């Protein structure tokens, strides 16, 4: 995610390197301004038409996350959208406890975001070196919006330490 925003979608760079599509998203709960190149595989199928799609892009200011799933619309206070973000900052591979679940992550994460799908609460967590410190999501300057089964999130890159690379792990 380093450098300036790409001006055309697809594969860029030399020697077969791939850079994701980079552009600004209007965080309004509609996924209409996302590109196919922004879609990421999920546990069932990566295509938006599958009703289970995760999306990631960025610009010089924010990292944007999008998610489409029926639980976004029908979710209760027991349904959570959870994202772990790994950066160059120190991180841990143990997720935080949420109800009865506490995942082991595939790689270290430095930050985490959890949003109740009924819209009642969002929390931001930072890895302290020994566990997760809790903050309200508004502390990070983040923005969320959801409409029907679509959720969008903007996380300021500055709240992540403006890293050159970010690993993203999304779950519902």
pLDDT digits (tens, 9 = 90+) for 74-110: 888 888 889 999 998 889 999 999 888 889 998 899 9
Phi and psi angles of residue 158, each rounded to the nearest 5 degrees, phi first: -60, -35
Structure tokens at 138: 């508004």
Is residue 16 within 8 Å of residue 57, measured between CB atoms?
no
* Among the listed residues 98, 101, 87, 90, the one whose alpha carbon sits nearest the alpha carbon of residue 169: 87
Is residue 38 within 8 Å of residue 66, measured between CB atoms?
yes
User: What does the angle CA 100 – CA 114 – CA 1 come to, to the nearest 5 degrees?
Assistant: 130
- pTM recorded for the entire structure: 0.79
């Amino acid at each position: 995610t380093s450098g300036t925003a790409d001006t055309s979608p697809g594969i860029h760079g030399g020697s077969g390197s791939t850079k994701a599509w980079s552009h600004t998203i209007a965080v309004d709960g509609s996924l209409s301004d996302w590109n196919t190149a922004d879609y990421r595989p999920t546990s069932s199928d990566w295509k938006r038409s599958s009703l289970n799609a995760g999306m990631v892009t960025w610009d010089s200011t924010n990292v944007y996350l999008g998610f489409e799933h029926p639980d976004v619309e029908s979710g209760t206070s027991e349904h959570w959208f959870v994202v772990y973000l790994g950066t160059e900052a120190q991180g841990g591979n143990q997720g935080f406890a949420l109800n009865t679940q506490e995942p082991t992550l595939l790689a270290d994460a430095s930050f985490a975001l959890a949003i109740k799908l009924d819209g009642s609460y969002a929390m931001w967590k930072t890895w302290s070196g020994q566990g997760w410190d809790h903050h309200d999501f508004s502390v990070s300057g983040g923005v969320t919006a959801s409409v029907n089964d679509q959720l969008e999130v903007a996380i300021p890159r500055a709240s992540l330490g403006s890293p050159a690379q970010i690993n993203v792990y999304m779950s519902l």
